[in-house]
Amino acid sequence: MAKRKDSLKKKRKGSGNGLLIAAVLLTILFLAGVMSLGALYYLEKNKEKPQTIPPKITEAAAVVTQTEEQTKESDHKNTSEDSQGESVLEKQSEETSESESELEMSSESESQTKEDESESEEESTEEESTESEEVREAKEAVLEKYKNLGMITGVRNYLNMRKGPSTDYEICGVIFKNCAVEILEEKDGWMKIESGGATGYVSAEYVTTGEKARKLALSSMKYMAEILTDSVDALYEPKEGADVITTFLKGERYDINGETKDWVEIEAVTELSGYVKRETVYTGYFLDEAIYFSLDGVSETRQDLIRKAFEYYGGTYVWGGKQLTAEGGVDCSGYTMCLYKLFGVQLPEFSGAQAEVGMTVDEDTIRPGDLIFYVGRYPGVIGHVAIYIGNGKIIHAASESKGICVSSWKYGPPVIMKNVMGD
């Protein structure tokens, strides 16, 4: 009986142990299932959730991307456009080889050139439709002077004229955008042209011919007054006996501010206009032409200064302006002050003060790069300054209508001439 009781106790004990083990296993399986479900839920939730980047990192990445794009764009631009395109009224100074300098003076992107030509054609068509028959006939008469008309296009500012058909030949003048030329011959990509009394060679790619040239010429003509007599006094008022403001010389052309039956008011530079008798001038339409001059025998520094001065041709005139940039503008003394500063020459702000700097020169000793000073609106008071470029020509910030342009150095009597370069 005792043995039977012991056997029953052992069976009960073994059964209890089995239940405990089963319970533990079930608990473990339950926890594992819960953990698996949690993991699946977490993974699924994070799979749908987008990755977020802190704002500062996003901004920094955008800046880097923009910088890389700008760098690529700049590199592409530098390889497809000339250095002159970057420097017009913005870039301060640059040293170039002869071939680079040629491009600097002459090239522009093809798309811009086509756009300019398209705009010129549209303007010409619009003008032809609104102009009177008398004006159209007067303009057509100007074109009859040309046997083989060409117009300079595809340049941002100016193009070199050379003594022979390659860049190896000496520069003998410059010719500007929308200037008219007589084409004498064409060979091996170069054209021999005559313009403004100068004969030279230019690359044929910058000369538009045919009907496009004719339309461009018609839209580019300017109504001006040309002095017919050796000299003519310009008066403050349109009446006999009025005070003389300045003297204009034969062959010079001036903008017309107004005209009557007997008098024509012409303007030389800002605040310097006067009345001349109608019989002393010819009023009509003119096309811009080449400027002949030579820098032969002139120092490299002075040559560089003249070339730099031409880069700003056509720039904006702003009275009192001292900013030689596309967004700014300059007056006559602002132009000289900013330009000469690039070459280490410090000039005062005003023309009268600039006339007190440097060494006085005369008509026999003046060289390209010297300054010429003129009387302004008031007798005996210096009111204008210009840069002598050679062959009786100056470049200066003339007026709001002309901007930075080239004129005869005797558009009015010079008061004093100065060498401010120190050489």
Closest CA to 407 of 281, 259, 255, 282: 255
The amino acid at residue 277 is K
* Catalytic position from the list 172, 179, 338, 384: 384
Residue 418: strand, helix, or coil: strand
Burial, 280: exposed, middle or buried (Cβ in 10 Å; 0-12, 13-18, 19+)? middle
Residue 2: strand, helix, or coil: helix
* Catalytic position from the list 179, 332, 338, 405: 332
* Catalytic position from the list 172, 179, 338, 396: 396
CA-CA distances (angstroms) from residue 266 to 103, 254, 272, 375?
Answer: 37, 6, 9, 16
Closest CA to 334 of 314, 317, 310: 317
Closest CA to 172 of 405, 363, 390, 386: 390
Backbone φ, ψ for residue 330 (5° rounding): -140, 155
Residue 332 falls in the annotated catalytic set: yes
Burial, 358: exposed, middle or buried (Cβ in 10 Å; 0-12, 13-18, 19+)? middle
Whose structure tokens read 């004498």? 184
- Over the range 163-192, which residues count as b (16 or more CB within 10 Å of their CB) and which as e? eebebeeebbbbbbbbbbbbbeebeeebbb
Assigned token pair, 404: 């930075």
User: Catalytic residue numbers?
Assistant: 332, 384, 396
